[in-house]
A and B are shown apart, each in its own frame.
Chain A
């Protein structure tokens, strides 16, 4: 069983829809959570990061973390065709003095249709 599970999709929504992307994890040591967006044949682009349970908002994006359920979400409001990409969740422990290798989900492919 993978440490991080993510539905690969594809997920197709109409323009303007609210999109919900989710990941579950099994490692209680994970304390630092990130969402990356990856366009085809490009490197991952950091969207949001958070340490805490609860919500964090940035423009049209809201990241939600529920550590008790080991469940994280990314919501995209007013989705646009330019949001069409693969969305990767990533997480790591918080290690003082050491590097934090990221463990990724498989990514969810999102397509926003006109």
Chain B
């Protein structure tokens, strides 16, 4: 399977703990996006990378959130001092970039529950 993969698929943590999620994009896709989806809502953009450069961050991404994409391959999203409001599905998407549009392919997501 050469699709987008995410790890872990599920994470349960206590409030105040730090968590880190990983995303492996489709190989040769140079753009990588993170979205967050809460129950009954569509995904909301958090941030995106072009290769290893983080080029845009949403105002939804508070100081407790940090994302990296070393060497332009996989990406990590870390949440420090988790809060119950962070409970959501965290989705990663990748795209080839270029052209008129930017067709994004999503991974299965990491479901975070903060107790």
Shortest Cβ distance from A96 into B: residue: B100
The tally of CB-CB contacts under 8 A between chains A and B is 73
Contact B40–A106 (Cβ < 8 Å): yes
The distance in angstroms between the C-alpha atoms of A106 and B39, with both chains bound, is 10
The distance in angstroms between the C-alpha atoms of A107 and B55, with both chains bound, is 27
A92 at the interface (CB under 8 A from B): yes
B28 at the interface (CB under 8 A from A): no
Contact B108–A43 (Cβ < 8 Å): yes
Shortest Cβ distance from A34 into B: residue: B103
The distance in angstroms between the C-alpha atoms of A103 and B35, with both chains bound, is 10
Given A46-B103, A99-B97 in contact, is the A104-B43 Cβ separation under 8 Å? yes
Contact A41–B111 (Cβ < 8 Å): yes
Interface centre among A34, A45, A104 (most CB of B within 10 A): A104
Contact A44–B101 (Cβ < 8 Å): no
Tell me how far the C-beta of B115 lies from the nearest C-beta in chain A, rounded to whole angstroms. 19
